[in-house]
C-alpha cells in the first residue's frame, strides 16, 4: 500500500497520499466529492461516494494501483503553524494530522481504454480555498516531483472552455493551450464513456497532433 510518511513539500503546502485507514482522509474526500465546484468539474455528474465507507473503499482501490505505478490522487494540506517541520523528526503522518486539508492534486494515467495515453494533471479544492494560489502551488510541486523524481516528460491537463480559473492556473504553469478536443475516459458515468469537449493543455514540446496521445480519437 502507499506510504503514510511520503510527502512533497512546497512553501505553504504538504502533498501526500490519501490513507484509507484514516477516517479524517475518508471524510475529507467525501466532502470534496460533493463540493459544488468539484461537481461542476465532473460535468455535473453526482458523486458515487455516499458515505465514509464508500470513500474508504475508493481510496483503497486507488491506493493499490498507486503503490504500483505512482500515479493517482494526492491530498493537499495547508501547513499548520502549530506543526513542527516534517524534517525536524517524527513521522509525517503525525504532522499531517495537525494540518488543514484543503484539496486534491492529481497526476493520473487512466486505465479506461478510451482515455488519453499520457498522464493528465488536475486539481480540486474545497470552495473556501479557491483564489489563494493553492492550486498553482500544489500543481507546481506535483510537476516538479514527476519530472525530476519519476522522469515523466509528457503531461496534459483538461478544463472546460469557460473555466477561467483553471485556464489561469494552466497559464501560470506554462502549459500550452491546444484548443478544444473530445476527451474520453475521465470522470464517471456518461462523462467517461461519451467524453466531453474539453480545452486541452499540453506541456511545451509535445507533438502538435494530440491524437498520438489518444486524444480526439
42: enclosing H helix or E strand: none
CA distances from 191 to 10, 173, 205 (A): 33, 26, 29
In Å, what is the CA distance from 55 to each residue of 152, 157, 160?
A: 29, 25, 26
CB 215 within 8 A of CB 181: yes
Q: Is 136 exposed, middle or buried (0-12, 13-18, 19+ CB in 10 A)?
A: middle
Ranges of H-type helices in 79-211: 92-96, 134-148, 164-173, 190-194
Phi, psi of 165, rounded to the nearest 5 degrees: -60, -50
Nearest 5°: the CA angle 163, 111, 45 is 40
**How do residues 40-79 score in pLDDT, each as one tens digit?**
766 666 678 899 999 999 999 989 889 889 999 999 999 9
Residue 133 has a pLDDT of 97
β-bridge partners, 196: 183
CB half-sphere exposure, 153, CA atoms < 13 A: 4
C-alpha distance from residue 108 to each of 33, 71, 105, 121, 192 (Å): 17, 5, 10, 7, 14
Query: What pTM value is reported for the model?
Result: 0.90
Other C-beta atoms closer than 10 Å to the C-beta of 167 total 17
Report pLDDT for 38: 77
Residue 65 phi, psi (nearest 5): -75, -35
Residue ranges covered by each domain of the chain: 7-153
For the chain, how many residues are written?
A: 217
How much is the pLDDT for 65?
Answer: 85
- Show the low-confidence residues of the chain (pLDDT under 50): 86, 189-191
Q: Which CATH number fits domain 7-153: 3.40.630.30, 3.30.565.10, 3.30.56.10, 3.40.640.10?
A: 3.40.630.30
- Is 114 within 8 Å of 166 (Cβ atoms)? no
Amino acid at each position: 500500500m502507499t506510504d503514510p510518511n511520503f510527502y512533497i513539500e512546497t512553501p505553504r503546502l504538504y502533498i501526500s497520499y490519501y490513507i484509507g485507514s484514516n477516517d479524517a482522509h475518508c471524510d475529507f474526500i467525501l466532502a470534496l466529492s460533493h463540493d459544488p465546484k468539484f461537481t461542476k468539474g465532473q460535468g455535473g455528474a453526482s458523486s458515487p461516494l455516499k458515505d465514509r465507507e464508500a470513500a474508504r473503499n475508493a481510496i483503497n482501490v486507488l491506493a493499490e494501483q498507486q503503490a504500483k505505478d505512482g500515479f493517482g490522487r494526492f491530498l493537499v494540506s495547508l501547513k499548520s503553524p502549530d506543526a513542527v517541520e516534517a524534517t525536524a523528526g517524527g513521522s509525517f503522518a503525525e504532522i499531517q494530522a495537525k494540518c488543514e486539508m484543503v484539496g486534491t492534486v492529481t497526476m493520473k494515467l487512466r486505465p479506461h481504454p478510451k482515455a488519453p495515453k499520457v498522464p493528465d494533471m488536475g486539481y480540486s479544492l474545497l470552495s473556501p480555498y479557491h483564489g489563494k494560489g493553492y492550486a498553482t502551488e500544489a500543481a507546481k510541486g506535483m510537476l516538479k516531483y514527476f519530472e525530476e523524481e519519476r522522469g515523466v516528460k509528457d503531461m496534459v491537463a483538461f478544463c472546460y472552455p469557460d473555466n477561467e480559473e483553471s485556464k489561469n492556473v494552466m497559464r501560470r504553469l506554462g502549459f500550452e493551450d491546444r484548443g478544444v478536443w473530445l476527451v474520453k475516459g475521465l470522470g464517471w458515468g456518461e462523462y467517461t464513456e461519451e467524453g466531453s469537449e474539453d480545452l486541452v493543455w499540453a506541456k511545451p514540446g509535445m507533438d502538435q497532433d494530440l491524437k498520438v496521445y489518444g486524444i480526439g480519437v
